[in-house]
Amino acid sequence: MKTVSETRCFGGIQGVYSHTSEACACDMTFALFLPEEARSVPVPILWYLSGLTCTHENAMTKAGAQAWCAEAGVALCLPDTSPRGADVADDDAFDLGQGAGFYVNATEAPWAPHYRMWDYVTQELPALVGSEFAVDLDRQSIFGHSMGGHGALTVAMTLPDRFRSVSAFAPIANPTASDWGRKQFGAYLGSDESRWSAHDSTLLMRESGFPGPVLVDQGTNDQFLDLLKPETLAEAMAARRQEGQFRLQKGYDHSYFFMSSFMEDHVAFHAEALYA
C-alpha cells in the first residue's frame, strides 16, 4: 500500500491510498478519514459507496461527511467505483465500464478479468484497511448514493451479520427492472436473469430484509426517478415491516447538494448503531 496524501481534517486525518488489488487485477485507490480518536484506540468504520462516474474523490470533497464523522468518532472509507487503467475494459457510455462497476463480480467478457467489485469492497479492501489502520471491524456500517446506494443495500442484506446499519441516498432500488441495471447486469453477469436477483435491493428486501435499522432518503425532484424506482423499495420495506425509514425529501434532486444536506442525519444514524 502507498500513501498518496494525508491531510489534517477536523482534528483527524483525511488520507488517500493506493494498492495493487488481487481482486481487480489492477491498482486501486481509496480514501479513508480517521477521526482523532483513532490515534489511541480502534474506531468503528463506516463504508461509503459512490455512484456512477465517481471516484474515491467525489464524496471525499463534496459530501461533507468528515465533520460529522469526526464528531461521532467514526472512520469513513470511500472506495473507487470500478477498476481503472489502460488495460481495463471500458465503454464509451458513462453508465458502463470504468466508473460504473455496479459492485458485482463480472463473469462475462471483456469485463471478467478486472470487474470484481463485490469481492473488492466486501473482502479485499476491508482486510487491507483492518490490517493497516486503527479501525474496529467488529463495528461496521455501510451507506452509499445512487449506484452506491444499490451497492450498500445489497451488500448489507447479503452480509447481515457484518453491518449494524445501512442507509442510502437515492439508490438504484430495482435494477433488474430498470435500464440502470438491466444493461449493466446483462453485460457483466450475462443473459441469465436468475443471476441478477442477488444484486437487487427490492428483491432482497422482499426475500430477507435486514436485521438492523435502514434509512433511505430520496429527493422528490430527482431527475432520475424513473430509473431509480424508489417506490418498489418503499413498498418492499412496508410489506416486510422493516425497521427503518424511507423519507421523501421535497424539492431535492440527485446531486451532492442533496447528499450534503442530509449527511449529518445519516452519520448520526450510523453512529448510534455503531456505538450501541
Catalytic residues: 146, 222, 254
Q: Contact, 243 vs 164, CB < 8 A?
A: no
Which residues are paired to 145 by β-bridges? 169
Spatial distance between the Cα atoms of 11 and 71, rounded to a whole number of angstroms: 10
Spatial distance between the Cα atoms of 226 and 245, rounded to a whole number of angstroms: 21
Which amino acid makes up residue 25?
A
SS3 of the chain: the string is CEEEEEEEECCEEEEEEEEEECCCCEEEEEEEEECHHHHCCCEEEEEEECCCCCCHHHHHHHCCHHHHHHHHCCEEEEECCCCCCCCCCCCCCCCCECCECCCCECCCCCCCCCCEHHHHHHHHHHHHHHHHCCEEEEEEEEEEECHHHHHHHHHHHHCCCCEEEEEEECCCCCHHHCHHHHHHHHHHHCCCHHHCHHHCHHHHHHHCCCCCCEEEEEECCCCCHHHHCHHHHHHHHHHHCCCEEEEEECCCCCCHHHHHHHHHHHHHHHHHHHCC
CA distances from 223 to 56, 152, 188, 218, 262 (A): 23, 21, 26, 11, 18
